[in-house]
Amino acid sequence: MTYEHQDHHHGHPGRLTDAHQTGSTPSKHSPWSSNAKQPSEETDGEALNRARAARFPRGNKMGVVYNVSVVLFEDFELLDVFGPVELLARLPEEYRIVYVASETGPVRSSQGAEIVVPASLKNAAPADIVLVPGGPGTRRLVRNQQFLQMLTHLAAPAAIIVSVCTGSAVLAAAGLLNGYRATSNKRAFDWASGHGDGVTWVRRARWVHDRNRWTSSGVAAGMDMTAALIGHLTGPEAAATAAREIELEIHPDPTRDPFADLR
């Protein structure tokens, strides 16, 4: 594992190489755009948008619809899932959400609520975005090779992979963060950052956007990251609209992390 130092004078994470730079300074053009795009990322994004527009010519005004697979498991954290989903679901013409798990049927959260999952990881339709939440259940999943293989089968071809909280530990254990910068829940950071090879773990970050990987800090931070993701993919007006409809004040600076020193 690798840790990225924080430059406290400038307030920005240190950089590794050009390939790992993500422009984590908030965009001057929009508070919802958390990271400047890299040329290769813009090319990939434009290619994805053209492909999606071709498939859904009568969709939203941008002509782009993203299929979002939310991965559930026993003892997942509710807000890790339904914070981001609440924002994404405000834009139903842009984001189509489906829940997947190891098996179909009810999946119990760490708070006790159960979600009936209609699709299994083995049989899930291809996804443009895969979201993995955190929760106590991640402690078991990082050792569950069968689950990790199924997750990789779904997530590796996806255009964008997203995690909230300790979901990044699961991605790392599956090898899906190798060569990327990432963050995680700060109370569980030492544990989460022990997973994966070649992951550059960033402790002081509300969320980290590195190319097509988005990872957030703990629980509520997932909503800030999701607003930034919406702004990045669909535009700042869409992100602002989604946040306004649920009366949510988003923190748009990914480097502002008041919980970074929690242990």
Report pLDDT for 95.
Answer: 98
**pLDDT grade, residue 91 (50/70/90)?**
very high
Q: pLDDT digit string (tens) for 5-34? A: 543 333 333 222 233 333 333 333 344 434
CA distances from 133 to 19, 57, 83, 137, 167 (A): 27, 31, 10, 10, 5
| Helices first, then strands: H and E counts in the chain | 8, 14
Report pLDDT for 215.
Answer: 98
Q: pLDDT digit string (tens) for 35-63? A: 434 444 544 555 555 554 444 333 354 56
Report pLDDT for 262.
Answer: 86
Is the confidence at residue 254, as pLDDT, over 60? yes
Report pLDDT for 87.
Answer: 98
Q: pLDDT digit string (tens) for 227-244? A: 999 999 999 999 999 999
Q: pLDDT digit string (tens) for 122-170? A: 999 999 999 999 999 999 999 999 999 999 999 999 999 999 999 999 9
Question: Mean pLDDT over residues 232-258, rounded?
Answer: 96
Query: DSSP string covering 64-94, please?
Result: --EEEEEE--TTB-HHHHHHHHHHHTT-TTT
**pLDDT grade, residue 64 (50/70/90)?**
confident
Q: Residue 169 carries which side chain, given as an amino acid letter?
A: A
Is the confidence at residue 205, as pLDDT, over 90? yes
Question: Mean pLDDT over residues 100-117, rounded?
Answer: 98
- Contact (Cβ atoms closer than 8 angstroms) between residue 211 and residue 200: no
pTM over 0.95: no
